[in-house]
Amino acid sequence: MNAPLRSKNRPHTARITCYNSDAAQIPRGAPVFLNYTAAGEEKYVALPSTGSAAKNTFLCQGLATANVPVGEWGEFLVAGFHFAAKVIRQSRAASTDSYASVAAIAVGDYFTIDSVNNGLARSGAGAASIGPAMFAALETSVSLASTVSTTSDTSVAVTIGLKMLVRVFA
């Protein structure tokens, strides 16, 4: 683990190195899970949408600090400040559906893992008490109005990079 203390102009972080055993690249800011089916190796990780990845939140291994290609080693933030966590702002079931409106994000709002879209989804207001949050917003994002489907937009999720406080129990 890398936990620099008294480093000038560098926020405190703790990172681990893991191997991307998924069939897809892991994008910067995406959460990853242990992938025990990959030869039983404890350092193998995969995206939440991967069928073989353990989906228990407590097996989350952090957020990718950079894009990690398939079959490569990468660093994953387990504690500290992530400056571009992948946050799902709007989602829809199919590309022909409309996006629903969503509330604004405030500093302190906490997030859960969206295992369909491989990102973080707003879970609730920071004032709510549900125990220790693993991911908390460090910046705001405005509310979004609903939008109708267009034939050129085939996406099913709108994502942004958001500053996030990370405390993964790895």
Tell me which CATH code domain 13-79 carries.
2.40.340
Please report which confidence band the pLDDT of residue 162 belongs to, taking 50, 70 and 90 as the band edges: very high
* pTM score, whole prediction: 0.80
pLDDT digits (tens, 9 = 90+) for 98-115: 777 778 888 988 888 888
Task: Report residue 38's pLDDT band, with 50, 70 and 90 as the boundaries.
Answer: low
Record the tokens describing residue 98, joined without a space. Answer: 């409309």
Highest mean pLDDT (candidates 54-58, 76-80, 123-127, 133-137): 76-80
The pLDDT value recorded for residue 12 is 72
Residue 63 and residue 87: Cα distance in Å, rounded? Answer: 11
Cβ neighbours around 24 below 10 Å, total: 14
For the chain, the domains span 13-79, 80-167
